[in-house]
Structure 1
């Protein structure tokens, strides 16, 4: 645009020259019929452009660039056609006089000299720089640039601090000397000696601390931060790998030792952010160094938790030693060691039971005043399990106090969902999310059904036990199985009714849970033997018998072995805060529910084969039995036998899903009335047993003399026909009773 305007102006001047050339020379104009020079430099805007001077000549003109500029074509004198003036970069063309202690910075038409860090412009020679004596300036201002226990020594362009024994600047020469408290790594405490491996870890950190605080120690002997952090976490793994920590004091000592060690290691880290993961821990540490206090947000995260805070809270408001640190450490398996000590919480909020519901997390910052932070920190925890919201539970943010107990002081829940909980805390320590389980309101209907059904079952089981024990006409392998099934079921129902809710004392509750585990397993094991015996009777040999010793070994030995192994592996799983039964938290419930499922599947197999074979025998043994009678007998015995063989436990699988009251009632009714079903199925529906009952009651109710007269007047032929008829009926009912 500029060049176009100048070209038009130049063309206009040329045209003027041509028009007057006939009378005046080139670059002249006619004034009062006299030829005079035309001054092109008076034109506005200037014909030479910016950053230049226009010089008029007789009949012409030329342009010259100002100082710091040069012509576009490299000419000293030029015209408007040859282009504008451009800036000269004195820094790249080495036309400056800044000296070796300053940095040249180009400007439009000029340049400036900026002194390097640690230098200032020389007043006598503005282009040169001289060293700043930071030590002398700090002394004049009465400032401790190296801290109270550090001596400042000036160097060319900088300075460095020399610390006294017991103080260090962690290898950062321009950092204030900080006091090292190596005594906090002392091993002369009894709780530390109780926790294996903790004394060795503290001894290692104490030696590192003493080495760091000794000013005569060479840099080669000082361990770098990353290597020392890896050694610390490896030592922590060796402490936690054997299993849960037994005492609360040991947990407190371990957490405190690790936090103090990270405070020592953090300033020695080389990188601004360091992340290390081991089998037991997951650590991430951020460090900022410099003379000015850092600002901005901090975000640290791992698979179990995340930390959100800022550098103002991490560095503190007091004296700034030249570095700031923030660390997040997650313990992968420590929750099992601290899933106790809820006494303080139970006093504050009586009623619910508490349990750890996240990984234990430690937050460490360089701020010496962590009990009253200027800004609260936000910690987001990942739940150990995904559980839908329920009025029976809530999530609580808590920290581990030095006395070895959980507390909620200064921590509050900000928000929570099925997978995560965000906690806001005004102080720093080791934190976790606790799940508060509020006791559910008892279902009055289920309680009535359970107690009434168990009372009926206990009465029926007593009658069944007496029948199977003293009724001689039905003695055999199946009767032995029925007898001991009833004994196990009687003991299980009796213990359940009397002790299921007696959670105190804890040892008694564990015994009740173990006894219930044994006897209920005995019930389903004898049910399996019932199915096996039915299979043998119908499929293999119709009148098969098994020695009682083998039955006892299987019926009582198998449940005893399962209970003993379960008690050895998971002793803490026996007894819950509300019931004396198996805990659902550690998988121990599958030591009961697993055998139940296995036996139910086996019994289904035996039941199907037995029914199929027996249906064939019905047709061959009873050809005159009507079809309707066959279907009726088959259906009644099949349904009853299905209940006896334990298929009702299938409904128990659906109890793991809440909100199914119909299933709860079905399961409760069927299980509480098992004793009554056994009595009805194997006593009242058995003709032999009914005859034994009739004979027993006739002995009590009928006079002795009358019974003899009745026997003597009986017609022999009539008696023989009745016996034959009874034998035929017994054969018909025998096949149905097998089911």
Structure 2
């Protein structure tokens, strides 16, 4: 019984526990049929809207399951637990002093901050206040844009956040300060002899002005210093009028504008841009017509460009201009103002760069005209005209020079550039890469024997295969360029010289024997041996002249005569070879009575080269003789190579036809084998002769590249050509060898053979060769 009551009491207790557990929920939950999350952040009260939530001020409440979290607002930082923080304002200006960037001030606010530009600066978007992240910066306000901010007698100079007013020339401040800003101060005009230079200072309604004396100008800027302007430099340009008549029109316009500036109190305004455009057009026309080929014309041309650039510069609006044309590139920088300019300026083109200090370009402060100009003009092909004039260069016997950069003209407004306080630097790009450090910086000196390149006052700062940096302490001749000189290998020179002397000496002996053979031995005389004779005579005289005067360049006239004679005799040798080819052709085609008359042969062998040389000398007398050798100038060399190439082509044509005709005759049923064999032998000899002389001048063409192999081959073939002609035409000829044998036997063993026998033999041989002479040939 007692056990039953215990079980009953336990059941009632468990039922009571179950009832109690269903009526109570955990913290953060409330009972709604069941326990649901309670939103602690929902504290809105319609009767009291200022009720603060569980997170307090300056924080946001975020509900979570059974609880909540607090987050401080932007601009605040929380201290304490997540459910009960204390949010305090963050001072961004103190924690990040550069948060507003340059030229701005940071102001802390609650809850954020504001950035305000400093005085003299304005935001890029125009807003007064901004914050980091708004992509706003503070830029300088140019107060000088405001009209007359400094008054009419002072110049405004903008500075970061402010500005300065500097008195114009002839004015100063009563306080003695050099500049002012803000408050307008009174000015005093200091009239003395130095303000206007070569002019008189006067008061006017707008301040002081300078009345320039005759021959001086301030380029229309009445407040500027008067400087000299020589208008005569635009008058004497007759030497260029031979090249282009349009140069006269530009010179007349420049002379008129110049005289107007120096003689009139109110000169007309000069259009600098238009004059610069016309100058570049004139240069294009001059350079497009080919090289000047005269150093006096080069000097006149460069002086003209210098004077015109110096005249145009002051009429170009600051900061300057850059132009390019077919044959030129020009950069011109202009600075105007009462103060002497300072700092470096760089002008560049595709081929050269100029670095110069503005103080150097302006000149002495006491003579400062109120403006500074710097110009750099690069020519596309002037190096072709100016190459070869190196009389002003000091060189050794084995040195030669060649321009390896574009020619440029550099001018400044400073008229005294004979010795600059600080040198200018020019960086030239090479026309041809060179791994050797053998470059020289030079300028065009018009006073050196009519014009020449000179290295005086210039030095190499740095040199590489691609460029050279030059430093020059003057711009007196205005043109600064770089010249390349090459020093030959002495060992190769010695060997080539020995080969030349030995070969030419031996060739002279052999050519002399050939001349004696073809002129004295009657049994072998024929039109063909006549051609051989004059070929050897031409080469003999060419060799003698070459040995005697090829390197004698001391006398320019004598050197030109030597070059002309070499031109004539070498062309004569080619003409006689051409006659030989034509003679063979006539022999094969016409067979009999195909000989040239001696008068026609002389006209072709000596008359044609005489006409070519005469026309060449009249057309370009300066083409004969160079600085190094008495031969044709490089640009004139085709007056020799062109006729030589034509002759070689004509001979090859005739020889091909001759061989073809010979093949036809050998294939016929009844050929005249004896005559054909002789013609065949002569053809082979003539072809070998043509190959000998033609090959020599082919290697001579490669001499322009100055390679060792071509130098040796050209020297060997040229030096021993007389020896080879003697071997081909005399030693390979059976008839000539027999005659040599008879002559030797007559002198060496006179007792073994009587004179009558020798005469009989000689007569029989002459009779036997009659048929040969009819065809114009001798035996080989």
TM-score by length of 2: 0.64
For the 8 Å contact 1:398–1:407, the answer to whether it is kept is yes
RMSD: 5.7
State the 1:15 CA deviation.
Answer: 1.3
The CA distance in 1 between the partners of 2:659 and 2:293, in whole Å, is: 56
Please tell me whether residue 601 in structure 1 is matched to residue 655 in structure 2.
no
Match of 1:501 among 545, 548, 551: 551
Deviations 1:129-156 (A, max 9, x none): xxx99788735538788982456778xx
Please tell me whether residue 395 in structure 1 is matched to residue 430 in structure 2.
no
For the 8 Å contact 1:600–1:646, the answer to whether it is kept is no
State the 1:306 CA deviation.
Answer: 3.5
State the 1:443 CA deviation.
Answer: 3.4
Q: How does 1:127-526 map to 2 (within 5 A)?
A: 138-141=173-176, 148-149=195-196, 162-166=209-213, 170=219, 176-182=223-229, 184-186=230-232, 205=254, 207-209=256-258, 211-212=260-261, 216-217=265-266, 221-230=268-277, 244=292, 258-270=305-317, 272-276=319-323, 282-289=329-336, 298-302=345-349, 305-309=352-356, 311=358, 313-315=360-362, 318=365, 323-330=371-378, 345-346=393-394, 352-354=399-401, 356-367=403-414, 370=417, 376-381=423-428, 386=432, 388-389=434-435, 394-398=439-443, 400=445, 406-416=453-463, 420-429=467-476, 430=478, 431-438=480-487, 441=490, 443-526=493-576
State the 1:555 CA deviation.
Answer: 0.9
> Per the alignment, do residues 618 and 666 of structure 1 end up closer, same or farther by CA in structure 2, a change over 3 Å counting?
farther
For the 8 Å contact 1:513–1:580, the answer to whether it is kept is yes
The CA distance in 2 between the partners of 1:711 and 1:245, in whole Å, is: 63
Match of 1:678 among 713, 718, 725: 725
> Per the alignment, do residues 543 and 672 of structure 1 end up closer, same or farther by CA in structure 2, a change over 3 Å counting?
farther
State the 1:497 CA deviation.
Answer: 2.8
* Unpaired runs of at least 5, structure 1: 1-10, 30-38, 51-82, 90-103, 122-131, 715-721
Secondary structure (helix, strand or coil) at the match of 1:578 reads coil
Match of 1:654 among 683, 699, 703: 699
Please tell me whether residue 107 in structure 1 is matched to residue 125 in structure 2.
no
**Greater mean alpha carbon deviation, residues 191-200 or residues 206-215:** 191-200
The corresponding residue for 2:159 is none
State the 1:421 CA deviation.
Answer: 3.6
> Per the alignment, do residues 160 and 399 of structure 1 end up closer, same or farther by CA in structure 2, a change over 3 Å counting?
farther
> Per the alignment, do residues 428 and 459 of structure 1 end up closer, same or farther by CA in structure 2, a change over 3 Å counting?
closer
The CA distance in 2 between the partners of 1:172 and 1:577, in whole Å, is: 50
The corresponding residue for 1:98 is none
Q: How does 1:608-623 map to 2 (within 5 A)?
A: 608-615=656-663, 617=665
The CA distance in 1 between the partners of 2:549 and 2:447, in whole Å, is: 38
Secondary structure (helix, strand or coil) at the match of 1:452 reads helix
The CA distance in 1 between the partners of 2:543 and 2:578, in whole Å, is: 19
The corresponding residue for 2:43 is 15
State the 1:327 CA deviation.
Answer: 0.9
Please tell me whether residue 573 in structure 1 is matched to residue 623 in structure 2.
yes
The CA distance in 1 between the partners of 2:399 and 2:303, in whole Å, is: 29
State the 1:527 CA deviation.
Answer: 0.9
The CA distance in 2 between the partners of 1:41 and 1:464, in whole Å, is: 123
For the 8 Å contact 1:330–1:360, the answer to whether it is kept is yes
The CA distance in 2 between the partners of 1:362 and 1:145, in whole Å, is: 41
Q: How does 1:626-705 map to 2 (within 5 A)?
A: 640-655=685-700, 656=702, 661=708, 664-696=711-743, 701-702=749-750
State the 1:554 CA deviation.
Answer: 1.0
The CA distance in 1 between the partners of 2:271 and 2:588, in whole Å, is: 79
> Per the alignment, do residues 547 and 269 of structure 1 end up closer, same or farther by CA in structure 2, a change over 3 Å counting?
same
State the 1:255 CA deviation.
Answer: 5.0
The corresponding residue for 1:534 is 584
For the 8 Å contact 2:218–2:225, the answer to whether it is kept is yes
State the 1:447 CA deviation.
Answer: 3.2
For the 8 Å contact 2:362–2:414, the answer to whether it is kept is yes
State the 1:311 CA deviation.
Answer: 4.5
> Per the alignment, do residues 302 and 17 of structure 1 end up closer, same or farther by CA in structure 2, a change over 3 Å counting?
closer
> Per the alignment, do residues 321 and 669 of structure 1 end up closer, same or farther by CA in structure 2, a change over 3 Å counting?
closer
The CA distance in 2 between the partners of 1:696 and 1:499, in whole Å, is: 36
The corresponding residue for 1:718 is none
For the 8 Å contact 2:202–2:210, the answer to whether it is kept is yes
The CA distance in 2 between the partners of 1:355 and 1:711, in whole Å, is: 65
> Per the alignment, do residues 201 and 17 of structure 1 end up closer, same or farther by CA in structure 2, a change over 3 Å counting?
closer
> Per the alignment, do residues 738 and 534 of structure 1 end up closer, same or farther by CA in structure 2, a change over 3 Å counting?
farther
Secondary structure (helix, strand or coil) at the match of 1:378 reads strand
The total of aligned residue pairs comes to: 632
> Per the alignment, do residues 201 and 462 of structure 1 end up closer, same or farther by CA in structure 2, a change over 3 Å counting?
same
The CA distance in 2 between the partners of 1:42 and 1:26, in whole Å, is: 16
> Per the alignment, do residues 139 and 646 of structure 1 end up closer, same or farther by CA in structure 2, a change over 3 Å counting?
farther
Secondary structure (helix, strand or coil) at the match of 1:223 reads coil
For the 8 Å contact 1:138–1:145, the answer to whether it is kept is no
The corresponding residue for 1:92 is none
Q: How does 1:21-32 map to 2 (within 5 A)?
A: 27=50
State the 1:522 CA deviation.
Answer: 1.0
The CA distance in 2 between the partners of 1:301 and 1:710, in whole Å, is: 87
> Per the alignment, do residues 210 and 526 of structure 1 end up closer, same or farther by CA in structure 2, a change over 3 Å counting?
closer
Deviations 1:3-24 (A, max 9, x none): xxxxxxxx97961748xx7xxx
Secondary structure (helix, strand or coil) at the match of 2:427 reads strand
> Per the alignment, do residues 609 and 204 of structure 1 end up closer, same or farther by CA in structure 2, a change over 3 Å counting?
closer
For the 8 Å contact 2:231–2:255, the answer to whether it is kept is yes
For the 8 Å contact 2:321–2:333, the answer to whether it is kept is yes
> Per the alignment, do residues 558 and 533 of structure 1 end up closer, same or farther by CA in structure 2, a change over 3 Å counting?
same
The CA distance in 2 between the partners of 1:411 and 1:27, in whole Å, is: 88
Deviations 1:216-253 (A, max 9, x none): 527xx3222223444666778899989849676x8767
For the 8 Å contact 1:180–1:213, the answer to whether it is kept is no
Deviations 1:247-277 (A, max 9, x none): 76x8767655654543343222236333456
* Unpaired runs of at least 5, structure 2: 1-38, 61-69, 76-109, 117-124, 131-140, 152-164, 179-187
The corresponding residue for 2:20 is none
TM-score by length of 1: 0.67
For the 8 Å contact 1:165–1:215, the answer to whether it is kept is no
State the 1:423 CA deviation.
Answer: 1.9
